[in-house]
Structure 1
């Protein structure tokens, strides 16, 4: 039962992440991006199922982004690393921070490599977009979901 719930939660998170990213595509891709779906990066605070869910959702979303295999592989790995670090975060306010830092660095490198955009500027723009999505949207989501966590999520081990 617990394994089935884990798979269902991971699948639902992956689907929601991919749909939100693709639906808001003009905002989701490029040097200046605010992925609305990145608000979901707070979900590892509630369930480890969010780790593979965000990873798979990002893979699917990046398949539609037009940046090829480098983004599909390394952009999605950035989400996997960030989700794991968010899961390990010891305090609520730190949970949105790993996606801001990890994506700022890795996606900044990807944009620099693909489009020869200035590295530091790319990192800063991605990090700003992540701040908006993860703290502006994600942190209020975390506070709201916390009220219902026992009804929605399996407890962390």
Structure 2
């Protein structure tokens, strides 16, 4: 039963991530992006099922990326690393949950975008940082606080 719950939670997270990414496709992809679905990257602090869920969701969503195979491979790995690091954040420090996705994506994604779009690296870095802050802290942190209240 526990494995079934884990699998269903992970699959739901993956599906919702893909749907939100595709619904907001005009701002989810490209050199300057705010991927609304990245708000979900706070979920591993609540359930370990979010780790594979976010990875699979990002993998599928990245199949639609203009950045091609680079984004599929490295963007998805960035999501996996960020999800695992978020899982390690102490539950007593919820405000830190959005930090791993911001930092990991700021390290990896500008390089992917630089090679995919041949635009200045620092422009890519500032764009990813801004988009991740909006998605993870602006949307993800309030989501986390709301889910934590619901859980209680």
**TM-score, length of structure 1 as denominator length:** 0.93
Q: Is residue 59 of structure 1 aligned with residue 54 of structure 2?
A: no
Matches within 5 A, 1:84-123: 84-90=84-90, 91-123=93-125
SS at match of 1:148: helix
Q: Is residue 19 of structure 1 aligned with residue 19 of structure 2?
A: yes
Which residue in the other structure is 1:129 paired with? 131
> What is the root-mean-square deviation in Å for CA atoms of aligned residues?
0.9
Give yes or no for contact 1:46–1:149 (8 Å, CA) kept in 2: no
The unaligned stretches of length 5 or more in structure 2 are: none
Matched positions, count? 150
Q: By how many angstroms is 1:116 displaced?
A: 1.5
Cα shift readout 1:39-83 (whole Å, capped 9, x = no counterpart):
100100100000000000000100011322111010000000000
Distance 1:3 1:106 in 2: 32
> Runs (4+) of structure 1 moved beyond 2 Å?
none
Q: By how many angstroms is 1:120 displaced?
A: 2.0
